[in-house]
Amino acid sequence: MAIKPKDMVKVVDYTILDPTVTVSEVKKICEEAKEYNLVAVCVNPCFVPLAAQLLKDSSVKVSTVIGFPLGASTAKTKAYETKDALDNGAQEIEVVIRTGDIKKKNWNAIRETVKPVIEATKLSGVSKDIITKAIVEISYLEEEEIIAVSKLLREIRVDFIKTSTGFGPQEVADLEDVALIRKIVGRSIGVETYGGVKGFDDAIEKLDAGANRIGTKNAIEVVRSRED
């Protein structure tokens, strides 16, 4: 993906989902995201109201996670979490797919989990521009499993597949995995990679492999390294 250094801000999400996150840290990343005009800030659901308030006069979107980090909550719970997040000001919804369902080829369970989340975004009345992402813990999967779940999520028509929660055994998606997902989904949906991006060159590698969004804790380090 050809991208000029000054345009890196257009594909970077500033993510802060650690267990120890504080209010002051959320305020800090929101201010930094506004300063650099990043795409989005991704926070845990409890911080969505704060982030929405801090970012209301900016173009930076508020993203949050559903069923995080294991994806093990029920479909009804995920749908409720989604509605609550949207009511609180979220504009991007990232729902975690339970890895066990992929391993057991339980495709109906994944459909039954993801579709209510997508429906909740459509029924929210907030905006037709709400983005839905499915987080798949790639580091647990074999190649054929990545192919199968990518095909399914393309069929369900999520907006993005995201490669990690950051809580798995390996938070860095291999470039080959990113390229494989892109090959399977084509340009019909987006691919977001999370983890392993510490600077501009790392981000470029992910984009060249097929990603079109970068989720990272190191967003400012990535965009500061761009050429003015």
Catalytic residue numbers, as ranges = 94, 162
Start-to-end Cα distance in the chain: 20
> What's the rounded Cα separation, in Å, for the pair 120 and 105?
25
Complete DSSP assignment for 169-208? S--SPPHHHHHHHHHHHTTSSEEEEES---SHHHHHHHHH
Q: Nearest to residue 96, comparing CAs of 82, 108, 86?
A: 82
How far is residue 135's CA from residue 194's CA, in Å, rounded to a whole number? 10
CB 61 within 8 A of CB 10: no
